[in-house]
Amino acid sequence: MDGYRLYRYVDNRSILVIKSDGKLVRVYCPFPVMDERKVILTVEAIAMGNDGFPSYLIDGTYYSYSLFLILV
């Protein structure tokens, strides 16, 4: 990922991100992400957690969005 930052949860199928050039774009599921081991995975859905931060559904399990880089 090069410069994408999560900006806002929209719904369980999309999020808003800010690109490195400052443009706001909506990313729709499914979309690829990369984990810290540089493994590319696919986000199937998005949920808002009790902590107020989104989680990504990947292979049937929810993970914190902060563990991944968006690759779109």
- Specify the amino acid at residue 51: D
Entry pTM:
0.83
Domain count of the fold of the chain: 1
The predicted pLDDT at position 52 comes to: 84
Q: Which domain holds residue 9?
A: 5-70
> Which class for 19: exposed (0-12), middle (13-18), buried (19 or more C-beta within 10 A)?
middle
How much is the pLDDT for 51?
Answer: 85
Of 52, 53, 54, the residue nearest 12 (C-alpha):
54
pLDDT tens, 13-64?
999 888 878 888 899 999 999 999 999 999 999 999 888 889 999 999 999 9
